[in-house]
Amino acid sequence: MRRLDLKKAQAARLNTIRDINRQIVLNYVREREPISRADIARETNLQRSTISAIVEDLKTEGLVEEVGEGESTGGRRPTLLRLRTKEAIAIGVAITPSVTTVATSDLAGRVIDQEEFPTDPDADKTLNQVITLVRELSRRNKGSIEAVGVSLPGLVDPATGNAVYIPYFQWRDIPVSQVITKAVGLPVVIDNDANAVALAELWFGRPEVSDARDFILVLVAEGVGTGIIFDGQVYRGQRGAAGEFGHMVIGTHAPVPCSCGNHDCWEAFSSEGAAMARYSKLIGSPINPPFGFRELVDRALAGESGAKAALVETARYLGVGISNLVVGFSPEAVVVGGEIARAWPFIESALTETIEHSVRRGLPSATILPSTLGEKPTLRGALSLVLASKFAAAFAA
Ligand SMILES: [Zn+2]
């Protein structure tokens, strides 16, 4: 049972029921498209007239459109509805320690155009390049872009729109939302990369994940971050600082320093850099760019034993941290995202064995799954920051 929050209860308005019905209809169209008004009425028990009125509103707002006709069940053939995907409505900006990607997507989250550049350690330079690309993409789309979502690899306060601390570049208290909004005139939503990817999994992930009310997303990249979905929403904690499990201590003498500088954090044992350091040690020679983590996974997939061994050992440490999260949170699922998800065929057993070994004594375990968000999960995350607000309920259901 949820305790009633009196501060929020005061804000409940008379049209709350109407808002709830609107979100129900919109989400039926999103998940079951193409779908007719009659099908929505059958599945929801809402009045046909209520649904028709809501659909008219959603059409006017440009969220839903009519597409052709469905099978007749005796009378007139019903008109089918789907999400309106004729134009780009969101811009996503995924800032990672190496590359920044700026892309547009439609309402369904499909990426339309994308551009990228190497992230500059100087915050002003990176933000200026972001602004140039956002301007260019919104000009190309002639006013259809509604908002910009930005994911950042560090501590972010979504309420103020500030990047509080980005360890890779030592950025502190950068007013990211304000700077971009001022320059491009669009609303900007920002979040930590792992939270953004967790949001993308919740809205656009595979059904085992998106249907779960409680799950944890573990993002393995230059660092290791976690996004916690609790009761169907991102759990943020004070100032958005929840989920910094990358810095929980799981050992000593990690193969690389953590982004915080210590050598005992989970991240220092389980990041892409940790796997690369293990590989370098195994083959007995230093590895240099352009050879990167992607190439390491490619080599492992091609059957190279050293590459496989480096990834399997990294997966064991990843499993140690996940075990701690499973014991503490008892989530329905844990999703592993990042390039490492491609290596699933040979890291899965190392991961699950470690987790099963630690989570015992009758405690429930969780399903461990690779992310299905594709090559750039943080970009999907950045886009979700804009798109999810279209479908999410503004009320506590
Ligand atoms: Zn650390």
Rounded distance between C-alpha atoms, residue 356 and residue 334, angstroms: 13
What length is written for the chain?
397
Number of Cβ within 10 Å of residue 362's Cβ equals: 5
Question: Which residue type, as a one-letter code, is found at position 145?
Answer: I
- Please report how the helices 293-301 and 272-283 are oriented relative to each other, as an axis angle in degrees rounded to 10: 60
Report how far ligand 1's centroid is from the alpha carbon of 262 (Å).
Answer: 5
- 3-class secondary-structure state, position 37: helix
pTM score of the predicted model = 0.91
Cβ within 8 Å of residue 15, ≥6 positions away: none
- What residues pack around ion ligand 1 (CB closer than 5 A)? 247, 258, 260, 262, 265
Q: What is the Å distance from ligand 1's center to 221 Cα?
A: 14
Distance (Å) from CA 257 to ligand 1 centroid:
8
Per-residue pLDDT of the chain (397 residues; tens, 9 = 90+): 667 666 666 555 556 788 888 999 999 999 899 999 999 999 988 999 999 999 999 999 889 999 977 777 777 788 999 999 889 999 999 999 999 999 999 999 999 999 999 999 999 999 999 999 999 999 999 989 999 999 999 999 999 999 999 999 999 999 999 999 999 999 999 999 999 999 999 999 988 888 888 999 999 999 999 999 998 889 988 777 778 899 999 999 999 999 889 999 999 999 999 999 999 999 999 988 889 999 999 999 999 999 999 999 999 999 999 999 998 899 999 999 999 999 999 999 999 998 888 776 666 678 999 999 988 999 999 999 999 988 887 654 4
Other beta carbons within 10 angstroms of residue 162's beta carbon come to 20
**Contact predicate 64/26, CB 8 Å:** yes
Residue 259 CA to ligand 1 centre (angstroms): 6
> Ligand 1 centroid vs 258 CA: distance in angstroms?
5
β-pair partners for 66: 81
Nearest to 297, CA basis, from 203, 205, 370, 390? 370
Q: How far is the CA of 194 from the centre of ligand 1 (A)?
A: 15
Backbone dihedral region for residue 68 (phi beyond 0: left; psi -120 to 50: alpha; all else: beta): left
Task: Give the span between the Cα atoms of 160 and 111, in whole angstroms.
Answer: 27
Q: Provide CB contacts within 8 A for 251, sequence distance 6+.
A: 264, 269, 317, 320
